[in-house]
């Protein structure tokens, strides 16, 4: 209820079902624009039923990894570079999983954090992010993860207090707690 508008006993409440198209660079940015619009107007409540596209890049990456793994099993040519380098040192595991994991972590140092954030997203867990913005400004944000994009190092979060959506870079996130 808006405190600036007086309560009028003749006013009634109406519910509308609408489709809204917003043109933006990504679904996350379009969702952010929509939530900003809905929160800045005299709208008492809203529910977004569909249109939130999340996890497409994750699904594509998983399918690509499964396809590559199937091709690697069908035609093993030579061991991966990481296995050849560690084979001489004797630090490789029997199944070779440690060097492969090391190679993955070299390409994306935030891999374990991405996994945690994705599990928070799937479980709709309320978390508190500590974010360091420009000039060392630290923010503590109680939020829910809307989407994660490891390819561009972006995390889209919904600030539960301000009811706003923020797009954060992974290097801005200093800490998180569930």
Domain-embedded: residue 57: no
Dihedral angle sign, alpha carbons of residues 12, 37, 167, 31: positive
Overall number of domains in the chain: 1
pLDDT tens digit sequence for 49-79: 666 666 666 667 777 777 777 665 554 444 4
What rounded mean pLDDT belongs to the chain? 74
Q: Reply yes or no on whether the pLDDT at 159 is more than 90.
A: yes
Domain-embedded: residue 117: yes
The least confident of 3-17, 41-55, 93-107 is 93-107
Domain CATH code at residue 156: 2.30.30.100
Range of the domain at 128: 109-178
Q: For 8-16, what is the mean pLDDT?
A: 77
Between 46 and 119, the more confident residue is 119
Domain-embedded: residue 69: no
Dihedral angle sign, alpha carbons of residues 106, 58, 92, 74: negative
Domain-embedded: residue 34: no
Closest by CA to 124, choosing from 146, 102, 100, 99, is 146
């Amino acid at each position: 209820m808006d405190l600036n508008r007086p309560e009028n006993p003749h006013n009634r409440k109406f519910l509308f079902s609408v489709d809204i198209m917003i043109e933006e660079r990504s679904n996350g940015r379009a969702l952010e624009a929509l939530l900003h619009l809905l929160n800045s107007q005299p709208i008492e409540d809203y529910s977004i039923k569909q249109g939130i596209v999340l996890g497409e890049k994750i699904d594509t990456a998983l399918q690509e990894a499964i396809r590559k793994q199937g091709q690697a099993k069908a035609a093993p040519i030579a061991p991966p570079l990481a296995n050849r380098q560690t084979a001489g040192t004797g630090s490789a595991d029997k199944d070779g999983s440690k060097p492969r994991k090391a190679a993955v972590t070299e390409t994306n140092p935030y891999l374990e954090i991405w996994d945690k954030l994705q599990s928070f997203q799937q479980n709709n867990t309320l978390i508190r992010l500590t974010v360091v913005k420009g000039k060392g400004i630290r923010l503590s944000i109680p939020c829910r993860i809307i989407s994660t994009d490891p390819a561009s190092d972006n995390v889209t979060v919904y600030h539960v207090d301000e009811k706003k959506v923020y797009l954060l870079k992974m290097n801005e996130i200093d800490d998180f707690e569930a």
